[in-house]
Amino acid sequence: MRHHLPQCLSVLALAVLASACGGFDRSIETAMAENEPLLVIDVTEPSESSSATSPLPVVTQEPVVSTTTMAPPVDDRPLSQGQGATRAARGRIARDGNPTFDGDFADPFLLPHEDDFYAYATNTLFMNVPVLAAYSDGSGGMVGDALPELPAWSEPHHVWAPSVSEVGGTYVLHYATRHTASGRQCISVAVADHPAGPFVDASTEPLVCTLDLGGSIDPSTVADDDGSLWLLWKSDGNCCGIPTM
């Protein structure tokens, strides 16, 4: 599907940023041996038959205190929701060859800006739209949340697949987010005067929301040969057994 936006955009050559995400594997550092005695005692039998006043067993050794460290239970939740959320949100950028981000950065969109690059991703636990920067001097890293506030009609923690375009000096962010009233993903738009944001969404309802087709997701803009800007998206029919289009 496409939606015509009545403003112009220069055609940008966009690259695709790949990112891998996953969980942590934890192992128990020291396993306790089976039947390991923690306390050794020497029971001395009394010379005469037992009675209510018979002596108690005599401890001949100090208790052996185990130093075994038990690992916390494995957290099988996605990195963006589990105990690795801090790393997921911040991650690290390795610069051995092409810059590579090792945090949780799903559905990335890359925007060239002058000699720099900005990358945007689906939400993590701490941010609605995480944004990374790679600067021409070789520096870069996690900038922060490009969209710190969601519109009132949107349900938090369901911000997907953002894309950003530059239109006449203004930066336009399209993204999918859950429409609280319907429970479906719908598309909204926010603007900023800098590619890192903060973007502001002042909408009172979704920009695009094809509820009869299951909702609307994966927005992206493309410039036509005549300079016209189009918004492309797909229906979210896979949510409810409807073919996507």
Residue 97 pairs in a beta bridge with: none
Position 44 pLDDT exceeds 50: no
pLDDT in tens, 209-224: 999 999 999 999 998 9
Which numeric CATH code is attached to 2-21+73-239?
A: 2.115.10.20
The rounded distance, in Å, linking the Cα atoms of 149 and 167 is 22
The rounded distance, in Å, linking the Cα atoms of 190 and 198 is 9
CA dihedral sign of residues 237, 16, 119, 227: negative
The rounded distance, in Å, linking the Cα atoms of 79 and 44 is 57
Complete DSSP assignment for the chain: -EEEEEEE--------------------SSPPPTT--S---BPPPPSS---TTPPPPBP-S--------PPPPP--S-TTTSTTHHHHHH--EE-SSS-EE-S---S-EEEEETTEEEEE-S--SS-SSEEEEE-TTS-EEEEEES-----TTEEEEEEEEEEEEEETTEEEEEEEEEETTTTEEEEEEEEESSTT---B---SS-SB--GGGT-EEEEEEEE-TTSEEEEEEEE-GGGTT----
Q: What is the mean pLDDT of residues 171-176?
A: 98
pLDDT in tens, 111-132: 999 999 999 999 987 899 999 9
Position 239 pLDDT exceeds 90: no
Tell me how far CA of residue 35 lies from CA of 38, 39, 45, 230, in angstroms: 9, 11, 25, 70
Kindly report the number of other CB atoms within 10 A of residue 131's CB atom.
25
Output 54 or 199, whichever has higher pLDDT. Answer: 199
Strand order in the sheet with 109-113: 109-113, 116-120, 130-134, 140-145
Position 176 pLDDT exceeds 50: yes
Q: Nearest-CA neighbor of 80 among 152, 20, 149, 11?
A: 20
The rounded distance, in Å, linking the Cα atoms of 208 and 185 is 10
pLDDT in tens, 179-196: 999 999 999 999 999 999
Output 9 or 189, whichever has higher pLDDT. Answer: 189
pTM of the model: 0.63
The rounded distance, in Å, linking the Cα atoms of 245 and 234 is 5
Average pLDDT value for the chain: 73
Residue 76 pLDDT: 40
Output 192 or 72, whichever has higher pLDDT. Answer: 192
Position 104 pLDDT exceeds 60: yes
Q: What is the mean pLDDT of residues 19-42?
A: 38
pLDDT in tens, 52-68: 444 544 544 554 554 54
Cβ neighbors of 48 (< 8 A, separation 6 or more) are none
Give the tokens for residue 3.
Answer: 């939606």
241 pLDDT band (50/70/90 cuts)? confident
Residue 204 pLDDT: 96
